């Protein structure tokens, strides 16, 4: 049995002016790619051939030239090392390429043209993927995460790979059912850590029936992509066509009936209201999500609006983590630790939704650290004191989700009354750290107030844009 391994992963915000370029991607080939999927060793007599995999932090549209370069190498590798029994793809499902809609559909159609109809193609997806009919036409197997925050990534990959191997070994081409559900909501309302998301995803195993229904997925979709395919969807697959269709119908109906119940998991308020609530709170630290400029959803990560409001309110017991501004980091590095500096901070990567903020401060520390999103590359990080309010400045777009991200800078996030992070729902370590958490409805490309965004390409009617619409899933 011979299986090719590869994939392309990024969440692309079409409202962002920041182009995702080749330098933003970690591209992996060879044994380094194979080692990401240790579960393959559980299967004997399988030859796994690593081709190419690219992934990046969520951002704006992908540079067309890089996408075509990636696709060309993938196709050439398929030709060179085939024939194939199967392909295992580690995907996300929300790529948007310059001048192209449904990039995954384009990639899968190109791969299918090389491997032919007999080769089985399987993909693991993020539950925030947007699935099209074209994708389903060229995929035989698709399985998506069942948790958000995503704590079942490896489990989903292993499940997808196992279904692929079983289908190849037993010569099964599973029936597929695909139901787009006209709901488009932000992940901050559809997390699986509270209802109704928790119950919906926990109910998925209820419809799985051994080989009859081998797997089922609910994809809530990615809201900040203005594409016709952007929507929630339900997918089921197995050997019994009737039961597969019924499983997809059941899950689609459950999802649709829960549409009005989706809500933010914490208090979500305008920025100044969140700051006042944090100041008045007895708990500490109060973690505030700067959600509109969240890099893990596609925001640029350089809008200084929340920092500006903190300075205006005279807040000193706080830390902002962080703002991406390579020019500001260079100023800090040139000046050195202890130096007084003046900065025009942020608003350069995304000048559409933010503007630079002029500040004066003192450089407290400088760090050269591995850039975790691109192994082998180091970045400079500066920690600056703005009259008692501290801010972390990064050379590259960086997320602060884990305690180690602060420890690497010799910062204890618990010492601050207010900790601002550019994120949506909190990842597990930050959630455990927070005495209280709030979600700021801040400006940015991934604004949570989605009905105010300039959508023009999504299918209508669509909930919540058309709140009174009626819809019924069809088998």
Query: For 133-178, how does the pLDDT look when each residue is reduced to its tens digit (9 = 90+)?
Result: 999 999 999 999 999 999 999 999 999 999 999 999 999 999 999 9
pLDDT at 475: 77
Report the chain's mean pLDDT, rounded to a whole number. Answer: 97
- As a 3-state breakdown, the chain gives helix, strand, coil percent values, each rounded to 5, of 30, 25, 45
User: Do residues 183 and 221 make contact, with C-beta atoms less than 8 angstroms apart?
Assistant: yes
Euclidean distance between the first and the last CA atom of the chain, given in angstroms as a whole number: 35
pLDDT at 44: 86
The per-residue b/e assignment along 256-288, b for 16 or more CB within 10 angstroms, e otherwise, is bebbeebebbbebbebeebbeebeeeeebbbbb
pLDDT at 379: 93
CA angle 166, 172, 174 (to 5 degrees): 105
Compute mean pLDDT per 10 residues along the chain, 475 residues long, and list them: 97 97 95 95 93 97 98 97 97 97 97 97 98 98 97 97 98 98 98 98 97 98 98 98 98 98 97 98 98 97 98 97 97 98 98 97 95 79 96 96 95 97 95 97 97 96 97 90
Closest CA to 339 of 360, 317, 313, 311: 360
pLDDT in tens, 250-265: 999 999 999 999 999 9
pTM exceeding 0.75:
yes
Closest CA to 58 of 219, 297, 221, 224: 297
User: Do residues 114 and 79 make contact, with C-beta atoms less than 8 angstroms apart?
Assistant: yes
The secondary structure element, H or E, covering residue 287 is strand 286-290
Which residue has 């539950």 as its token pair?
A: 127
pLDDT at 375: 67
User: Do residues 369 and 381 make contact, with C-beta atoms less than 8 angstroms apart?
Assistant: yes
């Amino acid at each position: 049995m011979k299986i090719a391994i590869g994939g392309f992963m990024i969440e692309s915000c079409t409202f962002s002016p920041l182009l995702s370029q080749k330098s933003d991607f970690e591209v992996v080939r060879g044994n380094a790619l194979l080692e990401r999927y240790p579960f393959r060793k559980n299967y004997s007599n399988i030859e796994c051939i690593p081709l190419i995999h690219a992934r990046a932090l969520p951002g704006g549209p992908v540079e067309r030239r890089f996408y075509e370069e990636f696709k060309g190498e993938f196709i050439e590798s398929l030709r060179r090392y085939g024939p194939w029994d199967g392909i295992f793809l580690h995907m996300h499902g929300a790529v948007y390429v310059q001048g192209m809609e449904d990039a995954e559909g384009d990639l899968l159609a190109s791969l299918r043209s090389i491997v032919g109809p007999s080769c089985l193609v399987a993909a693991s997806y993020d539950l925030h993927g947007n699935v099209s009919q074209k994708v389903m036409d060229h995929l035989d197997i698709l399985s998506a995460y069942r948790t958000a925050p995503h704590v079942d990534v490896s489990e989903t990959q292993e499940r997808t790979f196992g279904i692929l191997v079983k289908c190849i070994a037993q010569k099964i081409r599973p029936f597929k059912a695909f139901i787009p559900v006209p709901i488009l909501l932000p992940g901050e309302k559809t997390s699986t850590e509270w209802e109704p998301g928790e119950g919906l995803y926990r109910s998925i195993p209820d419809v799985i029936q051994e080989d009859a229904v081998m797997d089922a997925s609910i994809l809530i979709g990615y809201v900040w992509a203005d594409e016709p395919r952007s929507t929630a969807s339900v997918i089921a697959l197995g050997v019994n066509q009737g039961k597969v269709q019924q499983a997809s119908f059941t899950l689609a109906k459950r999802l649709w009936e829960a549409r009005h119940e989706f809500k933010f998991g914490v208090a979500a308020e305008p920025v100044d209201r969140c700051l006042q609530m944090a100041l008045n709170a007895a708990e500490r630290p109060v973690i505030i999500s700067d959600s509109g400029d969240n890099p893990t959803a596609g925001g640029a990560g350089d809008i200084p609006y929340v920092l500006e409001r903190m300075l205006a309110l005279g807040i000193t017991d706080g830390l902002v983590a962080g703002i991406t501004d390579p020019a500001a980091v260079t100023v800090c590095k040139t000046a050195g630790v202890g130096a007084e500096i003046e900065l025009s901070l942020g608003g350069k990567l995304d000048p559409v939704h933010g503007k630079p903020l002029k500040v004066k401060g003192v450089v407290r520390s400088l760090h050269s650290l591995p850039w975790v999103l691109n192994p082998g590359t180091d970045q400079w990080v500066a920690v600056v004191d703005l009259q008692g309010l501290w801010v972390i400045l990064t050379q590259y777009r960086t997320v602060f989700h884990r305690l180690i991200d602060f420890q690497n800078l010799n910062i204890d996030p618990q010492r601050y009354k207010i900790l601002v992070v550019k994120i949506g729902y909190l990842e597990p370590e930050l959630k455990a750290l927070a005495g209280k958490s709030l979600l700021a409805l801040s400006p940015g490309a991934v604004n949570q107030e989605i009905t105010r965004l300039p959508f023009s390409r999504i299918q209508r009617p669509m909930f919540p844009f058309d709140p009174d619409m009626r819809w019924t899933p069809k088998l």
